[in-house]
Amino acid sequence: MSSQWNNPRLGRAQVIGVVVAVLVFALLDLLGGLQAGSADGPVIFVQAVPAAINVALCWAMLRAKPWARWLTIFRLGLGLLLSAPSLWELISQGSQAQSMTGIVIVSIGSLVIVVLLFGPGVGAFFAQDEKRIDAQAQSLDRVEGNWEEGNTDFDQLPEAQRVFRCVRDLESGLREGGLEEYYGGQQGNTAHAVVDALQRIGEKNLAWALGEANALFEGEHPPRDLAERRRAVEQWSWAKRTKMAGLENRLEDLDGLTPSLHAYLQKQGVGLDNGEEGIASS
């Protein structure tokens, strides 16, 4: 029994069933809403928005995203709770077809919540995403160790290594304390090139935030010299520090950096583990 609870393949089969159930639930909910109201354009649009959200959640669940699991549980649980009076009225006072629709909605919603919370292997399936990122991070650590043994002159490095250095320096600096620590430390030595690096790995939102932060320096570029950069940061006005604090709020979620950098390096032909090793057997 314990092996079943830790079997992600069994969990995936149940998640596929959940996805089908959620899509049926969304369709029934959409049809029920349309039957209750008029079928004009605005009503159809309003009813279609939750259905579209459910489709997006299903796609994320199939990709083993833990947040999609919990958000689906929350949405269904809250939806059943808030709609309990109307569902009961539909079941008890509606036509036979309406009563059956209400019963099916309640049954599917409840079953999905139970399976997502307690289904054998479901927890292991959703843990794959975190395990994959951990494996990718370890692969990047090994690459970093190999590259550090070679050329350390940033301007002479190949593109892939420059991008790698920029992203890893940024991640290290931000996790140690924030933008001021990033610019005021050795990691900030590559800040002049970090915006281009983030764009190359597809992190456009982070690239925008770092571009705004770099623009706080004179000439809109941070000095490459550490001492100059530290003096510039120390002389920032209150307005600049306030803007920096606002930008830091956009840089709190760094979890996407590892898979984005990993995917970029693979496209560049850098030999990396794909992060799948050991997941199926866990």
Tokens of 69: 């699991």
| pLDDT confidence tier of residue 100, bands split at 50, 70 and 90 | confident
For the record, the structure tokens of 201 come out as 């790995």
Q: Which two tokens stand for residue 166?
A: 């920029």
pLDDT higher than threshold 50 for residue 282: no
**Which residue do the tokens 């866990």 mark?**
282
What percentage of the chain carries pLDDT values higher than 90?
Answer: 27
Residue 276 has pLDDT above 90, yes or no: no
- Beta carbons of 201 and 264 less than 8 angstroms apart: yes
> How many CA atoms within 13 Å lie on the side-chain side of 7?
11
Q: What angle do CA 32, 89, 36 make, to 5 degrees?
A: 30
Geometric angle at alpha carbon 82, from 80 and 86, rounded to 5°: 85
Per-residue pLDDT tens over the stretch 41-52? 555 556 677 778
What radius of gyration do the chain's Cα atoms show? 25
Average pLDDT over residues 231-239: 90
Higher pLDDT, 44 or 214: 214
Model confidence over 25-36: pLDDT tens digits?
777 666 655 555
Residue 244, token pair as written in the block: 């920096």
Judged by DSSP in three states, 203 sits in coil
User: Does residue 281 surpass a pLDDT of 50?
Assistant: no
Does the pLDDT of residue 239 top 60, yes or no?
yes
Cα separation, 272 vs 245, whole angstroms = 36
Contacts for 210 with CB less than 8 Å, ≥ 6 apart: 170, 191, 194, 195, 198, 251
Who wins on pLDDT, 39 or 21? Answer: 21
Of 241 and 128, the structure prediction assigns the larger pLDDT to 241
For 138-194, write each residue's pLDDT tens digit: 888 888 777 765 556 888 888 999 999 999 999 988 888 888 889 999 999 999 999
Work out whether the CA dihedral 171, 172, 177, 181 comes out positive or negative: negative
Separation of alpha carbons 199 and 27, rounded Å: 38
pLDDT, the chain, mean = 82
For residue 39, pLDDT beyond 70: no
Distance CA 277, CA 45 (A): 44
Please report which confidence band the pLDDT of residue 223 belongs to, taking 50, 70 and 90 as the band edges. Answer: very high
pLDDT value, residue 209: 92
Nearest to 175 by CA among 262, 251, 249: 251
Where on the phi/psi map is residue 219: left (φ > 0), alpha (ψ -120 to 50), or beta? left
pTM: 0.58
C-alpha neighbours within 13 Å on the C-beta side of residue 30:
18
> How confident is the model over 6-15, as pLDDT tens digits?
667 788 889 9
Mean per-residue pLDDT for 108-135? 84
